[in-house]
Every structure is written in structure tokens, then in C-alpha cells.
Structure 1
Amino acid sequence: MIEGKNVIPSNLVSLHDGEEQLREKALDIVAADQRLQLHLVIVEAAMDLADTFRQFDTSDEDLKVAQVLGMRTFSAFGASLKLALSGYHQNCALILRDVLETVFLLSLFVGDRTLIERWRLADKKARMKAFSPVKVREALDARDGFTSKRRAEMYELFSELAGHPTMKSAWMMRPQKDGNAVIGPFMEATALEAVISEMGRLAVQVGEQINAFFPNDGAPGLPSRLAFAQHKRVWLSTFYPAA
């Protein structure tokens, strides 16, 4: 039995120390790249919006579902950022796939709020029949008139690189593109940029969907909503200037 303060095996202590060193290296990379900083700004703004939304007092059970889904994205962003800065890029991407799936569900509910009651009252069989990830993506594509299957492609990419043990998943275990896979965390600018960039893109989508659930009178959560809108404009003008 491990006694006293030494409750963690020494190898795990050493691993944590290494993670903290990688975090400092990651912060140096971010400090030198304004685009990465902008991604983190929009992530923080989306998380703040989710936190503001969950504090909205309501007796509407359907709205409570949206609040819980927003809270889920808050925790996922926090965990994915922690992993990214500690050198666990593949594990970060796995959590980002959860954000992607959640934002698709939120988007479906924004478009038709009657679906929320169906979802929360459905048993497992009914839920999988109508609200499995693929069914949600298909419903969104049909709603929006999309034929490119971009949503499915993004979900499959996250699944192959991080969600499932495939040959492609080893790509995210390589500090260098043509190098060998490594065990444990590592810090490399391209890998860090890849996951933080995806984090930023997802944060824009999350914020948009959460914002749509606020009451139309504009007062609740107005400072957070305005801050998100302002950061979103800067983000879009930077990464999609022709949009």
C-alpha cells in the first residue's frame, strides 16, 4: 500500500512533470502565432456562452436538454485543450469528435425544437433509429440541401484519426509526418496547430447553436452573446475573408 503523500507511482509523477514541460513549450508556440491565439479566444467565448446559458432559469424540460448539451461542450473543450497543451493530440481529437456530434444534435434541435422531446423521451432503440449520429447528419444535410456529405467526411476523419484504432490513427502518434510513432505525449507545432484549429472551428459552431436557444428579448446573457458575436466576426474575417 502507498502511504502518505506519495500516493502516485514515481513513473506517473515523472510523466506529469513531462506533460507540464510540454505545456510550457505549447504556450510558447501559441504565443508566437496570433492565429492560434484567435482560435483559443473563440473557444473561450463559446465556453463562456455555454456557461451563461446553463445559468438561465427555466422550467422548460426541452430547454434544459439544450443547456445540458451546452454544458457537455464546455467540459469537452476544457478537456481537449488540456490534452492538446499536454501533448496528447490524438486524445484531444477524440474529444473533439464528441463536440462535433453534439453540435450536430444541437443544430438539429435548433431547426425543429419538437425533436427535443422525442429525443429525451425515446428509449435506446427509438433513439438510435431516429437520432444516431448518421441519422442526425442525414437529417441536417436534407434540411440544408447539402449533397457534398461534408458532415459525414468530418466525422469519419475524426473517427479514423482518433476514434478508432486504424492504420491512419498512427499518423497522430508521429511527431514528424514520415517518422516513427512515439509512446506518450509529444509537442510539435503542426500537430498542435491542427487540433487547436479544429477546436476553433467547432467553437464557432457551438456558439452559434447555443446562441439560438436564448430567449428573443435579448436581455439574458447579452454581454456573453455580444462578446461571442464580436469574436466570431474577427475569426471569420481572418480565416474566411471571402465568406
Structure 2
Amino acid sequence: MTSTRDIPENLYSLHSAEELLRQKARSMVAADPRLQLHLAVTEAAMDLADSLRKFDTHDEDLKVAMILGMRTFNAFGASIKLSLSGYHQNSALILRDVMETAFLLDLFAGERPLIERWRFADKKARIREFSPVKVREALDARDGFTSKKRAEMYELLSELAGHPNMKSSWMMRPQKDGEAVIGPFVEATALEAVISEIGRLAVQVGEQLDKFFPANWGLETRVGFAKLKRSWLETFYPTTTAEP
């Protein structure tokens, strides 16, 4: 039988299955206040990015922060969509990009002249001064961190989602000791792992974006994020002040 759809029949069926999985994932989120909090603080960080990009400015350095914020907005949206549709590994791969962008925002927020250097750097200079590892090293040196937690988290996302290797197959298994599967699936542990990482990164992104806001701009959005961030920290890190 010839299909009149504008996409192949199998791809249409795959999309239908993804939508069913999304409904299942939404039900799981609805039953878990912690997952709801992760997504709420993520939405608030995305609102910050949207609010900042609306500020009218001729400051090219500030525009860099706006563009990076917009990049995280798109990345969070894509990562959430993929995770709720059952593509946990692909969702995590996008989160590595968010992490790298958050670190760059952190570096720029602490030393604004670096933005201009980054804007005009050629490829060789950008790799030498602003590669992901150089940015992490600069942040650790600035903050006096020696445990290299930034590097550990980046490498974890790289191994699980960024590079084809044996560990990357872990995120393709609905059950820890089961077989890898082809196509999307929704399972509680995988869903919680990815959404909790989305929330953690959203807090970091929101903290950095807030530092670029001009005085008295976007106050309602900034207050909304601050309230959700405080609730998030009280829920997941009630007594610790840890390195990111």
C-alpha cells in the first residue's frame, strides 16, 4: 500500500511511539515533586536567557552573553524534549554542550575583558586560551578548587553520551544489567538521572546569566529564578556548599 504521508511510514510510526513515551514520562514527572522542581528551575533559567536577550544594547561583549544564554535556552529545550521522548543518551549529549557554555559564562562573568579576547580570537588562539579544558583549569585556579570536579563531570558526560565506547552503551539499557535496545525508551532511573542533571546545570546557567543583567532589568524574572534556585538548593543540597 502506498503511503501519502510526507515522511516515510516507519518514521511516522517512530514519532507516534515517541509521543506515547512522552505521555508516560509526563505521568512519571507528575508523580515526583523532585523531578518537577528540576524542570521548574530549568524553565526559570530559560526565562532568564529570554529576558536578557530582550535588553537593547550596543555593547558587543554583553551581546556575547546574550547569545550564549540563547544557546542554553535552545539546548535545554532540546534536551528536555529528547529525554521525555525516551532518548536519554542524546539528551545527555546536549547537556555536555550546556555544561561547556555554563563554564564559559562563568569565566566571562568573573573577568569581563576576556569576552573581547574571545570575540576576536582566531582558531589557534581560541583553542589555546578558551578550549573546554583551558576554561575548566582557569575556573579551578580562580576558585582554588583542586578536586577537578568540573573535569570529572565533563568527562562523565563525554563517556556516557559524547563518545562511542563501551560505557556509552549503559545509557541504551532500560535495565542496568540488561541488553542495549534500539530506539527510545522511558525508564525511571534513566529519566531521573538526565532530568536531575538538567536541573543542576540550569542552576549554574541561571546563576551566571544573572550576573550579566543590567541594573533594574528583568527583576521579576530574576527574583523568580532566585526563589526556585533557593528551593532547589534546600531540597538537593540542604547542608553542603560544594564545588560545582
For residue 144 of structure 1, what is the aligned residue in structure 2? Answer: 143
Tell me, in whole angstroms, the C-alpha distance in 2 between the residues paired with 1:120 and 1:167. 38
User: For residue 81 of structure 2, what is the amino acid of its counterpart?
Assistant: K
Residues 1:223 and 2:220 are matched in the alignment: yes
TM-score by length of 2: 0.97
Where 2:211 maps in the other structure, the secondary structure is helix
Tell me, in whole angstroms, the C-alpha distance in 1 between the residues paired with 2:109 and 2:148. 20
User: For residue 228 of structure 2, what is the amino acid of its counterpart?
Assistant: H
Pairing 1:155-166 to 2, within 5 Å after superposition: 155-166=154-165
- Post-superposition offset of 1:46: 0.2
Give per-residue Cα distances to partners, 1:182-225, cap 9 Å, x unaligned.
Answer: 0010010100000000000000000000000012x3x2100000
Tell me, in whole angstroms, the C-alpha distance in 2 between the residues paired with 1:87 and 1:156. 23
- Post-superposition offset of 1:6: 1.1
Pairing 1:43-82 to 2, within 5 Å after superposition: 43-82=42-81
Question: Can you give the 5+ residue segments of structure 1 that lack an aligned partner in the other structure?
Answer: none
Pairing 1:193-212 to 2, within 5 Å after superposition: 193-212=192-211
Question: Can you give the 5+ residue segments of structure 2 that lack an aligned partner in the other structure?
Answer: none
Residues 1:188 and 2:187 are matched in the alignment: yes
Tell me, in whole angstroms, the C-alpha distance in 1 between the residues paired with 2:196 and 2:5. 38
User: For residue 191 of structure 1, what is the amino acid of its counterpart?
Assistant: A
Identity %: 74
User: For residue 222 of structure 2, what is the amino acid of its counterpart?
Assistant: R
Where 1:155 maps in the other structure, the secondary structure is helix
Count of aligned pairs between the two proteins: 239
For residue 238 of structure 2, what is the aligned residue in structure 1? Answer: 241
For residue 8 of structure 1, what is the aligned residue in structure 2? Answer: 7
Tell me, in whole angstroms, the C-alpha distance in 1 between the residues paired with 2:119 and 2:81. 31
User: For residue 105 of structure 2, what is the amino acid of its counterpart?
Assistant: L
Runs of 4+ in 1 over 2 A off after TM superposition: none
Q: CA RMSD in A?
A: 1.0
Residues 1:104 and 2:80 are matched in the alignment: no
User: For residue 150 of structure 2, what is the amino acid of its counterpart?
Assistant: R
Tell me, in whole angstroms, the C-alpha distance in 1 between the residues paired with 2:237 and 2:132. 27
For residue 36 of structure 2, what is the aligned residue in structure 1? Answer: 37
Give per-residue Cα distances to partners, 1:92-141, cap 9 Å, x unaligned.
Answer: 00000000000000000001000000001000000000000000000000
- Post-superposition offset of 1:7: 1.1
Tell me, in whole angstroms, the C-alpha distance in 1 between the residues paired with 2:199 and 2:5. 38
